[in-house]
């Protein structure tokens, strides 16, 4: 049982890291759009969609 607990903790840490990195990437793309006038909007939408899916998966399922 200890192994399962450790694996769940590692999985949670990995999900947290992915969320942090994705949020940073989304912020960077916003800066690119603002500062350089380039159109990275589709990437921002894609990242926002992926972030929402990760956050939804992170919510307790109630089971």
Q: Where are the domains of the chain?
A: 2-56
Mean pLDDT score, 40-47: 72
Is the pTM higher than 0.85? The answer reads no
Buried b (16+ CB within 10 A) or exposed e, 54-63: eeeeeeeeee
CA-based R_g, the chain, Å: 16
CA 24 from centroid of its chain's CA atoms: 9
Distance CA 20, CA 35 (A): 22
Answer for the pair 43, 27: CB distance below 8 angstroms, yes or no.
no
* Res. 63 pLDDT band, cuts 50 70 90: very low
pLDDT of residue 39: 64
Could you tell me how many residues make up the chain?
Answer: 63
- Sole residue written with tokens 């926002």: 48
């Amino acid at each position: 049982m200890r192994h399962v607990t450790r694996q769940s903790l590692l999985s949670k840490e990995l999900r947290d890291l992915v969320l942090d990195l994705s949020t940073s990437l989304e912020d960077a793309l916003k800066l690119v759009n603002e500062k350089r006038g380039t159109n990275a909007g589709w990437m921002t939408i894609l990242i926002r969609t992926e972030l929402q899916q990760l956050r939804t998966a992170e919510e307790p399922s109630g089971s």
